[in-house]
Amino acid sequence: MKKSFLIILALGVFAMSFTQKVVDNVNPLLAEWDNEYNVPLFDQIELEHFTPAFEEAMKQHKAEMEVILSNTEEPTYENTVEASYYAGESLNKVLSVYYTYGGVNISPEFQALQQEISPKLSAHGDEIRLDPRYFERYKVVYENKDKFNLNEEQLFLLESDYKGFVRSGAALPEDKKEILIGINQELSSLTLKFRQNVLSEVNKFKLVVTDEADLAGLPEASINAAAEMAAADSIKGWVFTIQKPSMIPFISYADNRELRKEIYDAYVNQGNHDDEFDNKENIKNILNLRVKKAKLLGYENHASIRTENRMAQNPERVFDLLNQLWDGILPKVKEERAALQTMIDKDGGKFKLEPHDWFYYTEKLRKEKYDLDESQVRPYFELENVRQGIFAVAEKLYGITFTQVEGVPVPHSETTVYEVKEADGSHLALFFMDMHPRASKRGGAWCSSYTDHNYDKNGKEITPLVTNVCNFTRPSGEMPALLSVDEVSTMFHEFGHGLDWMFSECSYTATNVAWDFVELPSQIMEHWAFEPEVLKMYATHYETGEVIPDELVKKIKASSMFNKGFEKIEIYAAALLDIKFHMMTEEDPNLKVMDFEKEYMNEIGLIPEIYSRYRPTYFNHIMGGYDAGYYAYTWASVLDNDAYDAFNETSIFDQETAKLFRDNVLAMNGIKDAMEMYVAFRGREPKIEALLKSLGIEKK
């Protein structure tokens, strides 16, 4: 019989009253969400509601902005800046649901809607942002900011907004604004098509195994999941996909080398098949449009625009960091390659190590070197235990509690919801979690919000609605969802983003988070995941309830540096490729993106046995947000390792340090300069030594 969880948490399930009747003929996207905590009416929203809701919401937003821009009074912070933050409430509501559905409720019909709506949203945003009256009023406020007795948050946002106006083209002459609007609309359509193609590629590929002998080496959970997938598709045998919970166990444990190659090749060639879902032309056009846009705005390249308002400040500093880490980690990668080739030779394999072999022989070597394989560890990482583990860590650090609630409208039936309370019992946030892959859901893991912390124009506090979305191993038969080490790390990572949103003290929906700072709250949480003290809190065997034994904890810790070169080099390769793409200074109509990738990877010395973590045709990160910004994970690694040292200097659950981190980083993120936040927490600027030490690299 499974033992009770060791940490006492407020995890009882109770029902909140979220029932709300929408008046006939009132679009639920536009209706008042006057249920408790203003949760979107997911249970009443249909596809047909989006187009009329967008039309009406954009109409309202234009009218609200027209009142602001036609005001004959002298521009002030209140009647211009603050007023613009409160404008567009209806549009923000519609967008929060629209973007949610674009990740977790995708269908051919919704994709068609996206193709229709995306350019309209781009045009709407440009029409408002590039209206000369808007920039003129903002400029007056900015140049007279000392008159308005602004607080620190208001000053920071005003300066950020003003510089953002300039970067977005507000200072351009009208003829160039028209060109910019066209570029933005085209980019919007192309990036959307790129992402849709990737999803289609993922859903299209199926590795069907009909001979049971070809399953040799695979864990039972992987085999069962493949059987269930086959049955769901009325296929005889077993089905494996390039969704990571299916693919990673296959390439790590399946003895059949040819099948490992087939599935891995499908993964690394997503969008690169010269068919209807091919992305080579899309990304070429996107890169060229970004060059054109940079030139129009007076920048040398797209990377210069994107890094200007980040901690890095310019792409040269990004290269400096990445090259230092690349040079330090590359020798380790070559050592790992040699060790894997030795393992192949020892096994009697008469072949040279190839990319599809890396995972398989890494696991064999891990087993030999540390007497550890994932099948030993997964039983202790049942998803619900890990979930309660992250909640327990947050409770010990910050005093907050999580209680599951029922009756809350959710975007998909697999979503669970938790009320988050402060130590004094007051409400802090609602936290939504959607954990498993499906055809209607894009891959990867992310955190977002339906509502950010803010105060409405009447001074009422609006509490956050935060969501974590992941694609973790599903339950199979009578076996619950058992997570891999990587999935556990990802769960802690996304939860860190969630805490960042929950603890926010932003006054407005407007924020300006430095994109290379945004991963600090998530990456620091990963440090707690495998601490022996923390493992003892949540890692219990799903069948026996046995707490993870000390011997296994020691093996996990001893193997923590194993394969570290591979893990880091593929990330650094992707970050370098991203920046290199966006350092283009001239349009190239003949650009062949796969040749570009191959030549640059050869130039920097990436060994042929490893691919960049994301290749050009499925690099979703750089389709918005992380363009010229994938380095943010690495930049934040400097910060998170240095920040976690602050806990190591006291204790990993030191509440005084946690309070410093919450008050100076999580609460202020997006409303204060990133370096100022960090110094307020740490008492100094970040140092790289902790990161280098974690990688076993000596500082030069």
DSSP-assigned letters across all residues of 127-158: HHHT-HHHHHHHHHHHHTGGGTT--HHHHHHH
Distance in angstroms (rounded) separating the CA atoms of residues 205 and 408: 35
Could you read off the pLDDT of 596-627 as tens digits, one per residue?
Answer: 999 999 999 999 999 999 999 999 999 978 99
The pLDDT > 90 percentage for the chain reads 91
Is position 285 within any domain?
no
Hunting for tokens 């030999």 — which residue is that?
A: 368
Catalytic residue among 201, 419, 487, 494: 494
Is position 257 within any domain?
yes
Please list the alpha-helical segments (H only) found in 313-468.
315-346, 358-370, 374-377, 383-398
Could you read off the pLDDT of 315-332 as tens digits, one per residue?
Answer: 999 999 999 999 999 999
679, two tokens: 């110094």
Q: What is the pLDDT of residue 700?
A: 64
What stretches of 223-335 adopt beta strand conformation (E)?
A: 238-240
CA distances from 504 to 99, 465, 498 (A): 21, 12, 10
Distance in angstroms (rounded) separating the CA atoms of residues 191 and 620: 9
Is position 241 within any domain?
yes
Could you read off the pLDDT of 343-386 as tens digits, one per residue?
Answer: 999 999 999 999 999 999 999 999 999 998 888 999 999 999 99
Expressed as residue numbers, the domain containing 254 is 205-268
Could you read off the pLDDT of 100-115 as tens digits, one per residue?
Answer: 999 999 999 999 999 9
Element containing residue 432 per DSSP (H, E) = strand 427-434
Q: What is the pLDDT of residue 546?
A: 97
Let me know: does 251 contact 264? Beta carbons within 8 Å: yes
Q: What is the pLDDT of residue 24?
A: 57
| 3-state secondary structure string across 546-607 | CECCHHHHHHHHHCCCCCHHHHHHHHHHHHHHHHHHCCCCCCCCCCCHHHHHHHHHHHHCCC
Q: Which residues pair with 112 in a beta bridge?
A: none
Is position 188 within any domain?
no
Is position 488 within any domain?
no
Is position 255 within any domain?
yes
273, two tokens: 């098949």
Residue 21: what residue type?
K
Hunting for tokens 């027209």 — which residue is that?
A: 66
Is position 238 within any domain?
yes
Q: What is the pLDDT of residue 477?
A: 83
248, two tokens: 């990673």
Q: Which residues pair with 238 in a beta bridge?
A: 209
- For the four alpha carbons of 472, 476, 482 and 486, in that order, the dihedral sign comes to negative
From 351, 376, 388, select the one nearest 491 (Cα to Cα): 388
Could you read off the pLDDT of 482-541 as tens digits, one per residue?
Answer: 999 999 999 999 999 999 999 999 999 989 999 899 999 999 999 999 999 999 999 999
From 392, 347, 331, select the one nearest 568 (Cα to Cα): 331
- For the four alpha carbons of 48, 52, 53 and 55, in that order, the dihedral sign comes to positive
Is position 215 within any domain?
yes
Please list the alpha-helical segments (H only) found in 82-219.
83-86, 89-104, 108-129, 132-143, 152-167, 174-204
571, two tokens: 């990330």
Q: What is the pLDDT of residue 478?
A: 85
From 175, 25, 183, 197, select the one nearest 111 (Cα to Cα): 197
Q: What is the pLDDT of residue 34?
A: 81
For this structure, is 609 an active site residue?
no
Distance in angstroms (rounded) separating the CA atoms of residues 490 and 453: 24
Distance in angstroms (rounded) separating the CA atoms of residues 95 and 103: 13
pLDDT under 50: residue ranges of the chain: 1-23
User: What total of structural domains would you count in the chain?
Assistant: 1
The set of residues, in sequence order, having a beta carbon less than 8 Å from that of 248 and lying 6+ positions away, is 359, 484, 486
Q: Phi first, then psi: what are they for 339, rounded to 5°?
A: -65, -40
